[in-house]
Amino acid sequence: MIVLAIESSCDEFSMAIIKNGVEVLFMETFTQIQTHAKYGGVVPELASREHVRYFSYVVEKVKCFLDAQELVPQAVAVTVGPGLSGSLLVGINAGKTIASILGVPLIPVHHILGHIFSANLSEEVTFPILSLVVSGGHTELIISKTYTNHVVIGKTRDDAVGEVYDKIAKQLSLPYPGGPIIDKMAQQGERTYIFKKPKMDERYAFSFSGLKSAVVNEIRKGMLTESDKINLAHSFQKTVIDELSNKLIQAVEEFNVKTVVLCGGVSANSQLRQRFVEISADYKSLKYLIPKIEYCGDNAAMIGAIANYLPPLSISKQNLIDCSPNLTIAEFFKKYNEVKE
Ligand code: KG4
Ligand code: ZN
């Protein structure tokens, strides 16, 4: 099946043409990083306005590709949540319009499922899967038994990992997004600061706000030299990666899975990727997948990758699709299964 996929949940407007959920024929992403950089984070009102300003540019590129290749998509897939409401609405309305013009079904997609199945764009997953989803809005461990059966076994109680990277970068007067910059700094540093591990009563729950406060306190003491900042970035990153990888290893040992996936924007982190490779060497019988760098952050290819396995809605049901900023995976399946009936 050829799917035209749309992702607009945060500060990227992305469209892609995906064949059979695994082959990316085309992708165009318009990122607003420049717009939000000076504010130290995404400003929701600006994000939706920028989507409105630029989505027609992306649509035009996709149309040129389809015309040149003489291709007609068989379905349109769009992210319905979670995300920023104004941003989601632009993509959903674009999706409804394109699906109705083409006369094809619309497939609503949950953003996190997109991140997980971005792995399929490297190599097809074998179920059951254990995924560590790390992004600007999410830090979750998820077991997937099939494309439509997912259980969240743990998530963050407070900040998401990417969010902490971005907030620390802001304190250091570095532009948004802080993740890639802190990652680069960390590679040159040494562990001169020791931060406490969060104590959690739940086996797979995460918490990063204590670590964030500890790092921010060091910054606010003032007088940090460039090399202190680099060592602080290294020490912070080491604590984060130890925490993520320890919980991932516990889950690998406890659950009988065949594939382990690392995904989401923070999966672009060089040291986290390296640690993931080390874990794969210790637990050899499993398949380990990390999306290519271009599919780690928000993108439409990942939405097309999972859409291939989700139920499409006929044209008469498409008006029931709306944006759900806090949509959980369980709510997503409940809502759209009911719509289908
Ligand atoms: O998945 P994504 O594009 O958007 C969300 O769904 O949140 O993730 C963006 C997040 C940002 O917080 C960004 O700082 C972080 O991913 N990020 C990184 C790196 N590259 C992006 N964090 C750590 N190291 C990186 N190399
Ligand atoms: Zn994301």
Alpha carbon distances (Å) from 23 to 19, 225, 297, 302: 5, 47, 18, 11
Length of the chain measured in residues: 341
Order of all β-strands in the sheet with 106-110: 23-31, 12-19, 2-7, 75-81, 106-110
At 275 the pLDDT is 97
Region 289-299: what's the mean pLDDT?
A: 95
* Most ligand 1 atoms within 8 A of CB, residue of 171, 237, 266, 326 to mutate: 266
- Radius of gyration from C-alpha coordinates of the chain: 20
At 341 the pLDDT is 56
What are the pocket residues of ligand 1 if the criterion is a CB atom closer than 6 Å to any ligand atom? 10, 135-137, 162, 165-166, 177-180, 183, 264-266, 268-269, 297-298
pLDDT range class, residue 102, cuts 50, 70, 90? very high
pLDDT in tens, 77-95: 999 999 999 999 999 999 9
Region 152-160: what's the mean pLDDT?
A: 97
CA distance 83 to 137: 8
Region 220-229: what's the mean pLDDT?
A: 94
At 317 the pLDDT is 86
* Most ligand 1 atoms within 8 A of CB, residue of 88, 165, 238, 296 to mutate: 165
Rounded to two decimals, the pTM is: 0.95
Q: Whose Cα sits closest to atom 22 in ligand 1? A: 179
pLDDT in tens, 193-206: 999 988 888 999 99
Question: What atom of ligand 1 comes closest to residue 83's alpha carbon?
Answer: 6
pLDDT range class, residue 316, cuts 50, 70, 90? confident
Q: Is 131:141 a contact under the CB 8 Å cutoff?
A: yes
At 337 the pLDDT is 82
Q: How far is the CA of 266 from the centre of ligand 1 (A)?
A: 4
What are the two backbone dihedrals, phi and then psi, of residue 2, each rounded to the nearest 5 degrees? -100, 120
Give the Cβ contact number of residue 89 at 10 Å: 18
What integer best gives the mean pLDDT of the chain? 95
CA distance 105 to 303: 15
Q: Is 213:207 a contact under the CB 8 Å cutoff?
A: no
* Whether pLDDT at 340 is above 80: no
Q: Whose Cα sits closest to atom 3 in ligand 1? A: 297
